[in-house]
Structure 1
Amino acid sequence: MRIVRACSPKKRDHIERVQYGIVVRSLGLGLAGLALSGCEQNTFVAPPPQKVEVAPPTQRNITRFLEATGNTSPFNNVDLVARVQGFLQSINYQDGSFVKKGTTLFTIEPETYQLKLQQAQAAQAGAEASNKQAETDFKRQSDLVSRQVVSQATLDQSTSARENSQANLQQAQINTRIAAVNFGYTNVTAPFDGIVSTHLVSVGELVGVSSPTQLATIVQIDPIYVNFNVSEQDVQRVREEARRRGLTVSDLRQLPIEVGLQTETGYPHKGKLDYLAPNVDASTGTLLVRGVLSNPDRTLLPGFYVRIRVPIDQQSNALLVPDSALGSDQAGRYVLVVNADNVVEQRKVTTGPLDADLRVIDSGLKPDDRVIVAGLLRAIPGQKVDPQLRKTETPTATR
């Protein structure tokens, strides 16, 4: 038997409202699920290729140089010494000044040597008079012997006296020349145009007592030498190029040379090769080479550290790329190029000298290659890029 409990109207309305809310919520969840099931799914879209700037290698004629570093040295460097003994009478120049050849720089008391010169000249005059008398007597005796007035013995004595007087005259002439030379040494003059160092002795000081006393140093720097060393490999390369062009050693000595200081741009000082050592130094594997340059403004001073280059070859249609386009790794230097499919490739290259801002490429590139010159950080080998063609600037090479 089932017992049915009757509910009040108020309670029955409450139950019906609860049931209606449950139905509404279930219907909302169903519609929301239906809406979500009707949306499209998300898919990955690849970014566009990175933009890079490319340019073909520049082609032009270049001059290949032998480059080195070296030092300048004076064309002449002489110690001025006192060659006669005496007290230093005067110093006739300013320390560090430029003087011309023949300028009197020091005077050593000349009076004593002037008197000795006059003494020698007087002795020479006496010898000349005696020789003249002996010569006259010889002629007279020869005439008398021919007329058989005097004996042959008298003529022999006259002949001996004449020869003795000639010897005495010659000795007197030599003494006069020695006295004149010593008198000339009392004035120490500049042997060439140059700059004189500070004086090493003072006025009134006794010089030349037991050995020549150094008074100062004079240096000639116009022209000026540049000394540098060339490696054995470069020597062989230059000799091979000289044989190919039919150049002799004398021709090599006439090759132009260009020099620049560390603070200068390019190589503003011009000259020519002057000397090539006859052998390679076995301890260093280098050959000593010297150049000579005009230095009228005395811009170059002895001892300067300088950059040097010597033109050794002319190359036509060389390939060049901006030096900034080159990279390097353990395998060497490389450039990034874009192939026909716009994919980046890493190309190993052999580099040559720097010509202005462009680097010479000896091997590894073709004239029609597209070299990445900007946007290198966005270029990854094996990936596609969007190449933008840019004409490579061709700055004038420094000559």
Structure 2
Amino acid sequence: MRELDTRLGFLGQFSAVDMVEVRAQVGGTLTGIYFKDGAIVRKGDLLFTIDPVSYEIRLAQEQAQLEAAKARLVLADQELHRIQEPKQNDAGTAQNVEQRTSDRRAAQAAMDDAQARIRDARYDLDHCGITAPFMGRMGTHLVSLGNLIAGSRAATSPTTLLATLVSLDPIHLDFDVSEPDLQTLSNYRALTEGALPSNLELALGSDTAYARHGTLDFIDNIFDRSSGTIHARATVPNADFRLMLGVSERQ
């Protein structure tokens, strides 16, 4: 890193900007694995499938309940309309209208509930296929075909870890800054009225040329007295996927 005509040398380690544990939101038998261990996947790529039959059955049942609720609502509308006709002027009409109105509201509520149950059932069915939330590299699959896996929408109950996915581009470079180097950065900040030095030059492995560039975007707010350093982080483009997580690099 060149600042104030001085190169400050650090040894850093790459880490993912995003990492996710791939878990199911519904439970069932694992019926498909659609990636190779260590492969690069794109956002939306299908990773796993769960047997959908039980969820298809539930959706069909809820759709049948909706049809029944619609029929009850139609009948309630007809009964209410009939009793509200002018010729219905007997002494019990007001009470009957109130009862039919209540029946109609109950029928409408039942239909609304059936529609909500259909959305719920369809949500479960749609999540029998587990897709990649972003582009990245897959780890190894941790569950084999035919296994019964546990799923939960909000992870309120134990769920089965299927695999891990880490992002690749850009990538984070984590490193520690010594107290003297931190002072140099502070001096730079004072001279530039608060701006942080941002441009980093990186050398990969045993390379002597600083051929890659990154951006310093974070310095921690607590100095670690036990190690005499403070943690910092840069973001580095990695369009060719050459940079690997956990590898140490110089900057």
What TM-score bracket applies, with the shorter chain setting the length? 0.7 to 0.9
Question: Which residue type is aligned with residue 136 of structure 2?
Answer: G
CA–CA separation in structure 2 for the residues paired with 1:84 and 1:203: 16
CA–CA separation in structure 2 for the residues paired with 1:130 and 1:274: 62
For the pair 1:214 / 2:156, whether they are aligned, the reply is no
- 1:99 corresponds in structure 2 to 41
1:270 to 204, 213, 216: 213
Question: Which residue type is aligned with residue 226 of structure 1?
Answer: L
2:96 to 136, 154, 158: 154
Q: Calculate percent identity across the aligned residue pairs.
A: 34
Higher relative contact order, chain-length normalized (CA < 8 Å, sep 6+): 2
Q: Map Cα deviations across residues 158-210 of structure 1 (whole Å, 9 max, x no partner).
A: 33223322332332222222212221222121111111122222212222288
Q: How many residues align?
A: 243
- 1:90 corresponds in structure 2 to 32
- Displacement of 1:123: 2.0
| 1:1-399 matched pairs, under 5 angstroms | 63-135=5-77, 137-138=79-80, 143-144=84-85, 151-208=93-150, 211-248=158-195, 252=196, 255-308=198-251
Structure 1 runs not aligned, ≥5 long: 1-60, 309-399
SS of residue paired to 2:5: strand
- Displacement of 1:244: 2.6
Structure 2 runs not aligned, ≥5 long: 152-156
CA–CA separation in structure 2 for the residues paired with 1:133 and 1:290: 67
Instruction: Pick closer, same or farther for the CA change 1:163–1:237 going to 2, 3 Å.
Output: farther
Contact 2:4 2:188 in 1 (8 A): no
CA–CA separation in structure 2 for the residues paired with 1:93 and 1:151: 68
Instruction: Pick closer, same or farther for the CA change 1:282–1:155 going to 2, 3 Å.
Output: farther
CA–CA separation in structure 2 for the residues paired with 1:287 and 1:186: 45
Question: Which residue type is aligned with residue 187 of structure 1?
Answer: G
Contact 1:83 1:213 in 2 (8 A): no
CA–CA separation in structure 1 for the residues paired with 2:176 and 2:207: 21
Question: Which residue type is aligned with residue 239 of structure 2?
Answer: P
Contact 1:84 1:212 in 2 (8 A): no
- Displacement of 1:218: 1.5
CA–CA separation in structure 2 for the residues paired with 1:283 and 1:131: 72
Rg bigger for which structure?
A: 1
SS of residue paired to 2:201: strand
- Displacement of 1:306: 0.9
Contact 1:96 1:195 in 2 (8 A): yes
CA–CA separation in structure 2 for the residues paired with 1:243 and 1:136: 80
* TM-score, with length taken from structure 1: 0.54
- 2:154 corresponds in structure 1 to none
* TM-score, with length taken from structure 2: 0.83
Contact 1:82 1:188 in 2 (8 A): yes
SS of residue paired to 2:117: helix
SS of residue paired to 1:275: strand
- 1:389 corresponds in structure 2 to none
Task: From the two aligned structures, give the one with the greater strand fraction.
Answer: 1
CA–CA separation in structure 2 for the residues paired with 1:76 and 1:125: 45
SS of residue paired to 1:221: coil
